[in-house]
């Protein structure tokens, strides 16, 4: 019976992962979330009762080790797939450049993004590596982003979300280093992948500050509904996305992303 651990499972892509996996036959699904009780409640409301939920913050190595011990008891000391989904996207710098923030604000966002998106992933992998080594599938998947691709960013002129993008570029190299250390020697697959442009707002509309940043970046925006961020983003049009992907019509849902 394959087993999966998904971090940051309380909302967005993480929640979509665990609900998708929960419907696979003969599969053990384990959710890690900072707020385990809220995740339990949401799963119960969705009538999903076969997901195991443990509390853990990926920036807390002791909490991760405790969660790994609980998972080990559940799975017989092994784990097949670890999905590093938990991450930080700073709301302050999502639509700004490195030139728009104060030195103090830029440093704060860089440090917090690196701590969660890089150091937190390293802590998570290290905590669950003993279980992965004993698993059958031996896969560690880390969610990244196209915004961490230097060629893409330079080719299409994307200076926004610098702390997030920088930290994700760093985690890409972290994944490479793990794969170099253990990929061939132990047969563990370490993979970083982009889930696509996903709307993870769960109905929350874009803030006026974000919208101002989007417009400053050249987006043509016309707020014509109050259906949340997905509706907002569907009104954003910019040549960069059309040039890169002519079929682009807007972000996809977390549910569609995890099925790809």
Instruction: List the catalytic residue out of 4, 15, 168, 178.
Output: 168
pTM of the model: 0.87
- Report pLDDT digits (tens) over 183-214: 999 999 999 999 877 766 655 555 666 665 55
Instruction: List the catalytic residue out of 4, 15, 164, 233.
Output: 164
* Domain-wise residue ranges, the chain: 3-195, 206-260
Task: Give 145's pLDDT tier (boundaries 50, 70, 90).
Answer: very high
- Report pLDDT digits (tens) over 214-235: 555 555 555 544 455 544 444 4
**Of residues 13, 2, 10, the one with CA closest to residue 78:** 2
Comparing 223 with 140, which gets the higher pLDDT? 140
Q: What is the pLDDT of residue 254?
A: 79
Res 29 pLDDT > 80: yes
Q: Tell me if residue 168 is catalytic.
A: yes
C-alpha distance across the termini of the chain, in Å = 22
CATH superfamily of 3-195: NAD(P)-binding Rossmann-like Domain (3.40.50.720)
Q: Tell me if residue 15 is catalytic.
A: no
């Amino acid at each position: 019976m394959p087993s999966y651990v998904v971090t940051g499972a309380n909302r967005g892509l993480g929640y979509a992962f665990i609900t998708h996996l929960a419907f696979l036959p003969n599969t053990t699904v384990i959710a890690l979330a900072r707020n385990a009780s809220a995740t339990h409640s949401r799963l119960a409301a969705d009538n999903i009762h076969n997901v195991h939920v443990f509390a853990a913050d990926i920036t807390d190595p002791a909490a991760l080790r405790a969660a790994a011990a609980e998972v080990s008891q559940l799975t017989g000391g092994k784990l097949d797939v670890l999905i590093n989904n938990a991450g930080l996207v700073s709301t302050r710098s999502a639509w700004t450049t490195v030139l728009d923030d104060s030195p103090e604000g830029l440093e704060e966002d860089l440090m917090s993004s690196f701590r969660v998106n890089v150091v937190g992933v390293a802590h998570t992998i290290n905590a669950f590596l003993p279980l992965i080594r004993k698993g059958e599938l031996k896969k560690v998947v880390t969610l990244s982003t196209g915004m961490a691709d230097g060629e893409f960013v330079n080719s299409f002129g994307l200076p926004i979300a610098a702390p997030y993008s920088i930290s994700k570029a760093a985690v890409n190299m972290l994944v490479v280093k793990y794969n170099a250390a253990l990929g061939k020697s132990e047969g563990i697959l370490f993979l970083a992948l982009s889930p696509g442009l996903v709307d993870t707002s769960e109905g929350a509309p874009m803030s006026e500050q974000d919208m101002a940043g989007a417009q400053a970046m050249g987006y043509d925006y016309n707020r014509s509904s109050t259906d949340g961020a997905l509706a907002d983003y569907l009104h954003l049009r910019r040549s960069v996305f059309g040039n890169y992907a002519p079929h682009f019509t807007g972000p996809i849902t977390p549910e569609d992303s995890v099925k790809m």
